[in-house]
Amino acid sequence: MDPSVSTHGSEDCSLQSTETDDDFAPSKLGTKEYWDESYKRELQTYKDIGDVGEIWFGEESMDRVIRWMEAENIPKNASILDIGTGNGIFLMELAKNGYSNLTGIDYSKTAVELTTNILKEEGLKNINIQVEDFLNPSAEMKNFDICIDKGTFDAISLSPEDREEAKKRYVGSLRTVLHPEGFFIVTSCNWTKEQLLQIFRPGFELVKELPTPRFQFGGMTGNSVTALVFKQINPQI
Ligand SMILES: C[S@@+](CC[C@H](N)C(=O)[O-])C[C@H]1O[C@@H](n2cnc3c(N)ncnc32)[C@H](O)[C@@H]1O
């Protein structure tokens, strides 16, 4: 990571809702208005002082995914989609680690503008960045070998609209954009491993749980962040 890039993120989660079961309250973090406003501020700060803004869940959250990809010998030209790329820092890290077929999408136009600015400044060309609502992806979004999600499913889960419907549409979009045997790597702080398995298992099998820091509180042990690798179960087989 470039030392001029400051990081605010840690494994703590400001996406987390106040409630602890899966019936957590909707939040402004589940709205496009919130993200547009937030990236408008971050874009201005980037232009003023070159700070790229928030790195959700910290740098380790990107490193552990990249380590898994390297251990699995994922080809450097595998097509990778970063769902809800935000400031695009994950794309930047992937590019710096040699991955060459990268696409980032975000439904916030300002996030896409911020990412475009950062990647240009870093001299990283040939990364495809576009405005897309993942819940309604365009026809060209298909056949990705790997889809990465860091915090976006969490944000979508906080939608003040029909949350169940949003989750269903997310899974449907994932099935559409991912290669029939592609990988989906999700990092979440709102959902436990068990909950994520329930949500994604019908069409996806768990390949690996990536180790994340554990906490102890009131005699209980848990993970503040969950990172799972799924593989799509090919419907043709
Ligand atoms: C918590 S931030 C995470 C950003 C980035 N993945 C990261 O790790 O830094 C959630 C991101 O999801 C984007 N987002 C939320 N809903 C989306 C949707 N339906 N389609 C595309 N992007 C979405 C937001 O604009 C925001 O950039």
Q: Calculate what percentage of the chain has a pLDDT beyond 70.
A: 86
User: Does 186 map to a domain?
Assistant: yes
User: Does 69 map to a domain?
Assistant: yes
Alpha-carbon distance of 222 to 136, in angstroms, equals 34
| pLDDT (average), residues 35-45 | 96
User: Does 148 map to a domain?
Assistant: yes
Report pTM: 0.92
| pLDDT (average), residues 34-44 | 96
Please report which confidence band the pLDDT of residue 60 belongs to, taking 50, 70 and 90 as the band edges: very high
Percent of residues in the chain assigned helix, strand, coil, to nearest 5: 35, 25, 40
Alpha-carbon distance of 86 to 140, in angstroms, equals 20
66-75: long-range pairs with CB below 8 Å, 24+: 66/93, 66/94, 66/97, 68/185, 68/208, 68/210, 68/229, 69/99, 69/146, 70/97, 74/145, 74/146, 74/183
- Residue 175 confidence (pLDDT): 96
CATH number for the domain spanning 144: value is 3.40.50.150
Please report which confidence band the pLDDT of residue 6 belongs to, taking 50, 70 and 90 as the band edges: very low
User: Does 7 map to a domain?
Assistant: no
Residue of 152, 170, 174 to mutate, ligand 1, most atoms within 8 A of C-beta:
152
Please report which confidence band the pLDDT of residue 163 belongs to, taking 50, 70 and 90 as the band edges: confident
Q: List the domain range (segments joined by +) for residue 183.
A: 28-232
User: Does 179 map to a domain?
Assistant: yes
Residue of 107, 159, 188 to mutate, ligand 1, most atoms within 8 A of C-beta:
107
User: Does 65 map to a domain?
Assistant: yes
How many independent structural domains does the chain possess? 1
* Closest Cα to atom 4 of ligand 1: 86
DSSP designation for 200: H
